[in-house]
Structure 1
Amino acid sequence: MQKVYDIAIIGAGPAGIGTAIESFAFGIKDILLIEKAQNHSATIRTFYKDNKRVDKDWMGQKVECEGNIVFMDGTKETTLDLFDRLLDKHKIETMFNTEVEKVEKKQDLFEIFTTNNEKFLAKNVVIAIGKMGKPNKPSYKIPPSIKQFINFNLDKCGKGEKILVVGGGNSAAEYAYFLADSNDVTLNYRREKFTRLNPENEKIINEYVQKGKLKLKMGVDIDHLESEHGKPKVVFTDGSNEVYDRIIYAIGGTTPTEFLRKCGIELEGKKVAVDESYQTKTPGLYAAGDIVTETGGSIAIALNHGYAIAKHIKENQR
């Protein structure tokens, strides 16, 4: 007979890892962690620059860790090291390079179907896939001839390039000043002022601008892109235009609505509808991380989601 897991967790980011570790701490032993990437914490690895600060109290949200995982301020590297140690210590069964296609509930069990035709059975399922796995893209079309010069992270960025970073959040700011040390960088934000930067990033941006190491183009949006001799030409809404070697978009992530629909999960606006234990309207089916919050992004909050879910599953374990 096929093994039935007590809990299957889809997504090995902070919310998924938190749920796995807290479930183990509550004595739930048959745990399966499924991740489509080749390692855990793919968003942190892909979208965080090296040595990026990772704060427990993100965006001014004061968070107390409720479970067994002690998460403190650190860096990208210390955060990844923490999750490595936790997964190794608790010997969590993990399936990497495995993408889930849909989840269906049949009587008292969930069937989890993967894109490579595997099927797993579980009494409870947690969707912890996050938004940044599907980064937001601009509404205007990107000409095919310049797509190789369009980024949504720091991949393939070299030195000595003329780069436009688009966005007004912390990721955009960090990309901009990180690249500005070795490139000609302009940071473009459609609003007149930054409203979402943490104090440290705002301070660094101001210092770079004052020293002439970074240019700002504020209060103007991009109308469309063109190809000029194979390079991205940006036409702004104020009528100006500029040719760049590379454009990096850091404009947030999108809730994976199609996947959630296949799992029978309802949305309230742009977030998953859950109760106080992060259970959806389907008993035994939970959601955690930034797909259940308006702001998203907080690792400590995601870990707390995992604790609440594990506690609820333990209390209702048959």
Structure 2
Amino acid sequence: MKYDVVVVGGGPAGLGAAIEAKKTGLEKVLIIERDRELGGILNQCIHNGFGLHEFKEELTGPEYATRFIEMAKEFNIDYMLNTMVLSIDKDKNIIALGESGLIDINSKAVVLAMGCRERTRGAIDLPGYRPSGVYTAGAAQRFMNMEGYMVGKKVVIYGSGDIGLIMARRMTLEGAKVEAVIERKPHSSGLTRNIVQCLDDFDIPLLLEHCITYVHGKDRVKGVTIAKTGKDKRPVEGTERFIECDTLLLSVGLIPENELSMDTGINLDRRTNGPIVDNRMQTNIEGIFACGNVVHVHDLVDFVTRESRIAGRNAALYAMDRSRKDKSVETKAGNGVSYIVPQHIDLGSDEEVNLFMRVRDIYKNKKLVVKCGENVILEKKRVHMIPSEMESLKLNLDIIKNLSGNIEVCVEGV
């Protein structure tokens, strides 16, 4: 089988990239999806809040996904479901396993859009037995929203990621009692709007700087012991208390799915756990691009779509031998900034570049400053910045053309 562009993953990133590749002028575009349907994680996100940037209206996850699925079908984009990509080599030869067996595919360009997965109990070394009733928040969401299974009646949520916050509201609406959301950090890991709409509106307590020290129960969860955490992030002796519950949901972080990327020889950024990319979303292997949560975890699906268009368009240009590469400069996360994507900027770029980043702490009345050497080339004031909400800075063509070296982004006082 031969294709111009093969997209690995049929979620919002993969759909957006495939559609953009087709719009750019390619005939043969393929999406490979390991699940039974297109749409990815959006299919189980039945709450609204999607599409405000992309469509200027509020949609549910399935509604947002359906719009792109319908576009993919209108553009006659091929797709394979229930198919797992096993390997990709540097010549863009793909081996996949589908319902009919092994499939060999040759592609001129590849877009990686595998998304991310949840951090599990094993990854956080949670003490206690291994009873039933412990779920990741995303697994509980799928059980409830797609399978119609109520996972519990008395719930504690560990971690304040967005899926955990949304599940606090979802379970409350279904009649469960959410006892508390426990967060080790001094600030929430989720969006401010989800704190308000999912916790405050339902009087669900958020206990910051707390941790779970033990999970009780052998057959089924009976409860958890929690404690305050000190400056060293460890439990403070004497602050322990028991909370009775029959269900524990974990919302303790997301990890980009990059086992396939590593096997292919793609360089990963240890801060994002995703591929190192340039402003065209191209990895260190020419012709292999990446976008969405496989690169870095986004807070809004609209930003995933924006990024996927860049990857899809440039993958198409590469497949048509219309891609040109110039000298590039690196982007560096300075004081107060955790990471920056893209990590490289091609100086021959013919379009503006958006730098996406997250800050390390809560900052008020500060500014994001972009420096090239000792020269300040851009600065933007921010009234409020928190690690859970992604920041972006736009570099116009005039700035890019005049870059003389690597750039650094840092947080400075106003």
Q: What's the TM-score once normalised by structure 1's chain length?
A: 0.82
Provide the residue aligned with 1:260 in structure 2. 261
1:8-47 equivalent positions in 2, closer than 5 A: 8-46=6-44
Q: Could you say what secondary structure the match of 2:74 adopts?
A: helix
Deviation at 1:27, TM superposition (A): 1.3
Q: 220-229 vs 277-286, which deviates more? A: 220-229
Partners of 2:226 and 2:198 in 1: CA distance:
26
Partners of 1:313 and 1:100 in 2: CA distance:
19
Cα–Cα, structure 1 residues 21 and 142, in superposed 2: closer, same or farther, change >3 Å?
Answer: farther
Show CA shifts across 1:94-117 (max 9, x none): 0010011221124xxx11112452
Partners of 2:57 and 2:281 in 1: CA distance:
24
Cα–Cα, structure 1 residues 101 and 188, in superposed 2: closer, same or farther, change >3 Å?
Answer: same
Cα–Cα, structure 1 residues 56 and 142, in superposed 2: closer, same or farther, change >3 Å?
Answer: farther
Instruction: Write the letter of the residue equivalent to 2:67.
Output: L
Provide the residue aligned with 1:61 in structure 2. none
Structure showing the higher strand proportion among its residues: 2
Cα–Cα, structure 1 residues 314 and 149, in superposed 2: closer, same or farther, change >3 Å?
Answer: closer
Provide the residue aligned with 1:306 in structure 2. 308
Partners of 1:144 and 1:119 in 2: CA distance:
45
Q: Could you say what secondary structure the match of 1:185 adopts?
A: strand
Partners of 2:208 and 2:110 in 1: CA distance:
44
Instruction: Write the letter of the residue equivalent to 2:95.
Output: F
Instruction: Write the letter of the residue equivalent to 2:94.
Output: I
Q: Which has the higher contact order (CA 8 A, sep 6+)?
A: 1
Cα–Cα, structure 1 residues 223 and 273, in superposed 2: closer, same or farther, change >3 Å?
Answer: same
**Is 1:198 paired with 2:192?**
yes
- The answer to whether the 8 Å contact 1:228/1:243 transfers is no
Q: Aligned match of 2:48 in 45, 52, 56?
A: 52
Cα–Cα, structure 1 residues 239 and 144, in superposed 2: closer, same or farther, change >3 Å?
Answer: closer
Q: Aligned match of 1:162 in 138, 141, 154?
A: 154
**Aligned sequence identity (%):** 18
Show CA shifts across 1:225-257 (max 9, x none): 232553243232342223321111122311224
Q: Could you say what secondary structure the match of 1:174 adopts?
A: helix
**Is 1:291 paired with 2:294?**
yes
Partners of 2:207 and 2:81 in 1: CA distance:
41
Structure 1: 5+ residue runs without aligned partners? 58-64
Provide the residue aligned with 2:163 in structure 1. 171
1:12-161 equivalent positions in 2, closer than 5 A: 12-46=10-44, 48=45, 50-57=46-53, 72-106=57-91, 110-115=92-97, 116-131=101-116, 134-138=117-121, 139-141=124-126, 145-153=130-138, 154=141, 155=143, 158=150, 161=153
Structure 2: 5+ residue runs without aligned partners? 228-238, 322-414
Cα–Cα, structure 1 residues 221 and 197, in superposed 2: closer, same or farther, change >3 Å?
Answer: same
- The answer to whether the 8 Å contact 1:34/1:98 transfers is yes
Q: What's the TM-score once normalised by structure 2's chain length?
A: 0.65
Cα–Cα, structure 1 residues 125 and 280, in superposed 2: closer, same or farther, change >3 Å?
Answer: same
Cα–Cα, structure 1 residues 247 and 117, in superposed 2: closer, same or farther, change >3 Å?
Answer: same
Q: 247-256 vs 277-286, which deviates more? A: 247-256
Provide the residue aligned with 2:380 in structure 1. none
Show CA shifts across 1:144-193 (max 9, x none): 75145434322155287101122213222211122113111122222344
- The answer to whether the 8 Å contact 2:132/2:221 transfers is no
Deviation at 1:200, TM superposition (A): 5.6
Cα–Cα, structure 1 residues 263 and 73, in superposed 2: closer, same or farther, change >3 Å?
Answer: farther
**For this pair of structures, how many residues does the alignment match?**
293
Q: Could you say what secondary structure the match of 2:217 adopts?
A: strand
Partners of 2:192 and 2:177 in 1: CA distance:
24
Deviation at 1:278, TM superposition (A): 0.5
Partners of 2:178 and 2:31 in 1: CA distance:
40
Provide the residue aligned with 1:62 in structure 2. none
Instruction: Write the letter of the residue equivalent to 1:313.
Output: A
Q: Could you say what secondary structure the match of 1:221 adopts?
A: strand
Deviation at 1:8, TM superposition (A): 0.4
Provide the residue aligned with 1:60 in structure 2. none
Provide the residue aligned with 1:7 in structure 2. 5
Instruction: Write the letter of the residue equivalent to 2:287.
Output: G
Cα–Cα, structure 1 residues 230 and 179, in superposed 2: closer, same or farther, change >3 Å?
Answer: closer
Q: Root-mean-square deviation (CA), in Å?
A: 2.5
